[in-house]
Amino acid sequence: MGKDLYEQHEQAKALFESANDILGFRITDLMFGGTEEDLKQTKVTQPAIFLHSVILAKMLGDGFKPAMVAGHSLGEFSALVAAGALSFENGLDLVAKRANAMQKATESQPGAMAAILALSDVVVEEICAEIDDVVPANYNCPGQLVISGSIAGVDAACEKLLEAGAKRALKLNVGGAFHSPLMESAKQELQAAIEGVDIHVPICPVYQNVDAIPYQEPTVIKENLIAQLTGAVRWTQTMETMLRDGATQFIEVGPGNVLQGLVKKVNRQIPASSANLQDA
């Protein structure tokens, strides 16, 4: 993961080595040669995805000037670095603290998440409102909404949602109720770190998860980053707003191509592609 960047670009190699120092362990060893279990550790997963995304964006050079940016959950931190609002070092430090805070919250209050397929958002919202400790967490695309909450609450919601006509209610392989009130302790832990970090005016609007609205005011960006831990990721709404605001092409910067698929579910006509080293 990211080994091609490390081997082909001196600047990328320097950034990866800097990350090893910041994190206090050689994350590159785990990214380039670790097992799947190694990479699934929360303290590794989030920084690894952040590093791959941010370093690839930097390797695209001065010609990479997005007109607008957005990131899904953790990706919002990468988007802020790509837009010049956060430094690489501060972004990585926040991501590491976020990962640790979320891990602790998961251990103190285990939870669950489930992807609900082929049911309207309104129906999912209504059923979640009837059950304690369950909320809509990730509005990924039309017909795919992830719910989050207590284990018992998510199980009960899945049963009701299937009865209401959902095609599937797929429990996710996570130990925590991310983007739900059960992350309140993580939110409080991260709040001081976010409030104390320097965030600059980004070079372009940043469409933030909590309300799918573009921002460039650092104070508001911070508030939304803090709220993100317990708030929903409104990705469907973000894509729709970006399209209304004139987006004509989406480039996914980072590992995988999941976001491109979600864009296509919102609007099949819009070009969506992956950034790669050939663009650098």
Known catalytic membership, residue 9: no
Q: Rounded to whole angstroms, what are the CA distances from 151 to 30, 128, 132, 167, 232?
A: 31, 13, 11, 21, 18
The structure tokens 């980053």 sit at: 225
Report the relative pairing of strands 168-171 and 112-117 from DSSP bridges. Answer: antiparallel
Instruction: Tell me the C-alpha distance between 211 and 207, whole Å.
Output: 8
Residues in the chain, how many?
Answer: 280
The CB density around residue 162, as the number of other CB atoms within 10 Å, is 14
Three-class SS state of 274: strand
Three-class SS state of 16: helix
DSSP state of 1: -
Catalytic choice (53, 148, 179, 180): 179
Known catalytic membership, residue 179: yes
Catalytic choice (53, 73, 78, 150): 73
Catalytic positions, please?
A: 73, 179
